[in-house]
Structure 1
Amino acid sequence: MGAWGGRRGLVVGLAGAALVAVLGLSGCTSGESIAATGAGGGEQRGTQAQAKPSAKVTATPAADAKDVSPAGPITVVVADGTLETVSLTNAEGKQVKGELAADKKTWTVAEHLGYGKTYTWAGSALGADGKAAPVAGTFTTVKPKRTAKASLNTGDGQTYGIAMPVAVVFDAPVKDKVAVQKAMTVTTTPENVGEWAWLDDTTAHWRPKEYWKPGTKVEVAVGIYGVDLGGGTYGRDDVTSSFTIGRAQVVKADTQTHRMVVYRDGVVTHDFPASMGLESDPGRVTKSGTHVVMSKHATYGMTNPKYGYSNVVVPWAVRVSNNGEFVHGYAPSIPDQGKRNVSHGCVNLAPANAKLYYDSALVGDPVEVTGSNQQLGKADGDYYDWALAWDKWTSMSAIAN
């Protein structure tokens, strides 16, 4: 038994030794392979870690670009490096103003370029590999068939009433209203929800959904320079305006009670007897609807050839529509004020009362007329904005809401 057991142990031992040898050989071979691969991978990684990338410069517009908008974007950007020098010059050699970012990775034009001009890039960037890469190339801006001017109805530093619309008027038809509307912004603090509406091919108005919040700060930017208005007409200049909305004053004039009541921040400040348009004559009716104060005149000459009068001078005239409607003083109608409507469409007050209202009014104040048999509308001209329901107003935007 002992001998048998010994032989078995020997056989097993030999087999085990052979297995160990095989495994050992296999392990040795595998180890050498891994070691070799590891060494090779290490050398490759080391090489990659030591190889630094060269600068990659991208100029916008690209070299040889044509019909570029002079409003931009006009930039040079570098990856894997920094910009050392950048210049952009016109055909006369004049350099364009530009700004280099603090990290020296972006250079941006700081002024509008000209129409129909060729510009040349120059400069260099330093790559992470220590080598210089050139900033180079030329491009040409678009040459318009014609240019169009835009004007705003609001002025810098002014204070307007809570119904004031922002009106932009172009001196040529706008065919691409979407592109132009995208270039026009109204920023308000605090926020007032509002929308642009195109009243015709040359006129766009922005008004809030509800009357402005008193004290609102408003920034208007009509950034049409370099924008194609359609048909090869481009914007001539950008136009901006910064203004403030004043206190909340609302006038309510009722043609049936013959009263004009002035509310300041919800409180009645004046309640005047008034005479409004004679309703038996369709040409003399004071239109119902929300009018907007457009201008103020200490004296104003009234002329209406249809009714046979010319340059009848009245005091303290406040225009509330482009159809000839004013709130003004008129002494001859004092016996009718508070009793009957006898005017040619205006709201007549006693001169002393008209002065009180005149002194309190701001351009942009709403004057809400009720009770008459005609409604304010498009035929009455600016500003009939508030005569339109909000869904109708937003449907007149060039951009779907």
Structure 2
Amino acid sequence: MQDSRRGLPASAGQRPRRRRLAAAALATAALMTLTACSQAASGATDSKGKDTSPSKPESGAGTTKSAGIRVAPITDGKDVIPGEPVTVKAAGGKLESVSVTAEGGKALDGELSADGTSWSSAHGTDYGTTYTLAARYTDADGSKKTSEKTVTALSKDQIFVGTYNVNKNSTVGVALPVSVVFNKPIHDKAAVEKKLKVTTSPAVEGSWSWMKDRDGKDRVDYRPKEYWKPGTKVKFRMDLVGVKNGDQVGTQKREIDFTIGKSVVSTVDVAKKIMTVAENGKVVRTLKVSTGKKKFETWNGTMVVLSKVPTLRMDSSTVGIFGPEAYDMGAVKWDVQLTPSGTYAHAAPWNEGKFGRVNASHGCIGMSTADAKWFYDRVDFGDPVTTVNSTDTVAVNNGYGDWNVDWAKWQSGSALK
């Protein structure tokens, strides 16, 4: 439900910055062995040397070790990971020719390696498509052999994927958590959380914590006990390849490095009607503001900058405000988004004369055009803005309200605690 106290932009493009992962993951080392002339595979072993039956493949990404042709990437012991190029190798021998043809006759282009030990397709596989693989190769003992096998790429319904909020080599604010939202309900949160890892230099104390996103999807955030220190190098790893989630399986593998920028911390005092901006612990400016009026009070607690846009239309109908309180402003300047429910810090020249004196907004933090431009230029994605002396505290899932949960409670939200 949208926040009836906030004016959301009419433009659908002004949502928090999140990067949608492609459904496919990086190729894994998981391999499938194909025996010559469509004979049944035998002698398969798992990673611990345990004998496994091909009719009952091991859960998760697996590798069979019998001689023949090996195919990657696969998951669940049988299915090809969609979107990834197919790699074929001759176990202990050399390939002479390989063809991978989709149902309907469309072949995947590809080429042999210079030494003849592997073949890779130039393009990835399509969701839910069955492919016939035919290979001619010389076995380790010098004998000529052929192998044919059908493999099927996982369908969209068979996989679960995540969305994460940090970009490679980016610089973010000191309050940004690492956040992942999943497209399917997560039935085994511990199994998924084990495959998510955040490491830092210098080391910091941090924890994952699970919640529901505003649209009801499962979400897990990682934050340190205190704000990140400027200059911290952060590495986020996600390796869900082969992780079982009910009837779905994970296919994603990502590694994201990013850096924490300078500390820009803003505090809005609703009672005093001022905003104090500090950089690296030193106050650099105090701005007069006008916050939410009665029944439209600005959220109390810490919010985190989600996005910035120089000009924005704000229409109260998007949050269910009609009648005498309705508004539709088509060119609001210097907009800094703080919550997906519609809280912004922005220029509000129509309230000139009220800054520092009267709280008159519908929940946003308004200021003069000149001050709003200064603030817009000063802050960036991940910087915290904390409101004090207001009423209701912003929800943990309304943007990144993570900092409004005490550390012990935050840790208790981990599936591994």
Q: TM-score range by the shorter chain?
A: 0.5 to 0.7
Change in CA separation of 1:195 and 1:204 when aligned onto 2, cut-off 3 Å:
farther
Q: Distance in 2 between matches of 1:165 and 1:370?
A: 21
Could you tell me whether the CA contact under 8 Å between 2:302 and 2:401 is conserved in 1? yes
Q: Which residue, out of 331, 337, 343, partners 1:319?
A: 337
Match of 1:255 in 2: 270
Runs of 5+ unmatched residues, structure 2: 1-65, 82-86, 141-146
Q: Which residue, out of 134, 137, 150, partners 2:162?
A: 150
Could you tell me whether the CA contact under 8 Å between 1:159 and 1:246 is conserved in 2? yes
Change in CA separation of 1:95 and 1:387 when aligned onto 2, cut-off 3 Å:
same
User: C-alpha displacement at 1:366, in angstroms?
Assistant: 0.4
Q: Which residue, out of 383, 387, 393, partners 2:404?
A: 387
User: C-alpha displacement at 1:321, in angstroms?
Assistant: 1.2
Residue 300 in structure 1 maps to residue 277 in structure 2: no
Residue 170 in structure 1 maps to residue 182 in structure 2: yes
Could you tell me whether the CA contact under 8 Å between 2:235 and 2:256 is conserved in 1? yes
Could you tell me whether the CA contact under 8 Å between 1:215 and 1:247 is conserved in 2? yes
Runs of 5+ unmatched residues, structure 1: 1-55, 100-106, 127-135
Q: Distance in 2 between matches of 1:119 and 1:350?
A: 67
Match of 1:267 in 2: 282
Q: Which residue, out of 257, 264, 267, partners 1:242?
A: 257
Residue 186 in structure 1 maps to residue 236 in structure 2: no
Match of 2:370 in 1: 352
Once structures 1 and 2 are overlaid, which stretch shifts more, 198-207 or 329-338?
198-207
Whose radius of gyration is greater, 1 or 2? 1
Change in CA separation of 1:205 and 1:362 when aligned onto 2, cut-off 3 Å:
farther
- Superposed, which structure 2 residues align to 1:40-55 within 5 Å? none
Amino acid at match of 2:410: W
Amino acid at match of 1:218: V
Change in CA separation of 1:326 and 1:393 when aligned onto 2, cut-off 3 Å:
same
User: C-alpha displacement at 1:187, in angstroms?
Assistant: 2.4
Q: Distance in 2 between matches of 1:66 and 1:347?
A: 51
Match of 1:221 in 2: 237
User: C-alpha displacement at 1:347, in angstroms?
Assistant: 0.9
Residue 160 in structure 1 maps to residue 172 in structure 2: yes
Amino acid at match of 1:361: V
Q: Distance in 1 between matches of 2:353 and 2:309?
A: 24
TM-score normalised by L of structure 2: 0.63
Match of 2:348 in 1: 330
Q: Distance in 2 between matches of 1:84 and 1:193?
A: 50
Q: Distance in 2 between matches of 1:144 and 1:178?
A: 24
Could you tell me whether the CA contact under 8 Å between 2:193 and 2:416 is conserved in 1? no
Once structures 1 and 2 are overlaid, which stretch shifts more, 250-259 or 234-243?
234-243
Q: Which residue, out of 370, 380, 391, partners 1:362?
A: 380
Could you tell me whether the CA contact under 8 Å between 2:355 and 2:367 is conserved in 1? yes
Q: Distance in 1 between matches of 2:393 and 2:77?
A: 49
User: C-alpha displacement at 1:161, in angstroms?
Assistant: 0.4
Could you tell me whether the CA contact under 8 Å between 2:79 and 2:154 is conserved in 1? no
- Superposed, which structure 2 residues align to 1:202-221 within 5 Å? 202-209=217-224, 210-221=226-237
Q: Distance in 2 between matches of 1:187 and 1:69?
A: 32
Q: Distance in 2 between matches of 1:354 and 1:365?
A: 16
Q: Deviations over 1:250-280 (max 9, x none)?
A: 00110011110000001111101111111xx
Q: Distance in 2 between matches of 1:89 and 1:389?
A: 58
Q: Distance in 2 between matches of 1:357 and 1:389?
A: 28
Could you tell me whether the CA contact under 8 Å between 1:274 and 1:337 is conserved in 2? yes
Match of 2:246 in 1: 230
Could you tell me whether the CA contact under 8 Å between 2:94 and 2:137 is conserved in 1? yes
Match of 1:130 in 2: none
Q: Distance in 2 between matches of 1:285 and 1:251?
A: 18
Q: Deviations over 1:7-51 (max 9, x none)?
A: xxxxxxxxxxxxxxxxxxxxxxxxxxxxxxxxxxxxxxxxxxxxx
Q: Percent identity?
A: 29
Amino acid at match of 2:407: W
User: C-alpha displacement at 1:70, in angstroms?
Assistant: 6.1
User: C-alpha displacement at 1:94, in angstroms?
Assistant: 9.0
Q: Which residue, out of 360, 371, 375, partners 2:389?
A: 371
Higher relative contact order (CA 8 A, sep 6+): 2
Q: Deviations over 1:40-88 (max 9, x none)?
A: xxxxxxxxxxxxxxxx99x999xxx9745768xx9x9x9xxx9999x99
Could you tell me whether the CA contact under 8 Å between 2:296 and 2:361 is conserved in 1? yes
Match of 2:303 in 1: 291
Change in CA separation of 1:96 and 1:192 when aligned onto 2, cut-off 3 Å:
farther
Q: Deviations over 1:113-167 (max 9, x none)?
A: 99888999999999xxxxxxxxx9x997895682233221122222110001112
Amino acid at match of 1:256: A
Amino acid at match of 1:384: G
How many residue pairs were aligned? Answer: 330
Q: Deviations over 1:332-367 (max 9, x none)?
A: 223111112111111111110111110010110000
Change in CA separation of 1:113 and 1:250 when aligned onto 2, cut-off 3 Å:
same
TM-score normalised by L of structure 1: 0.65
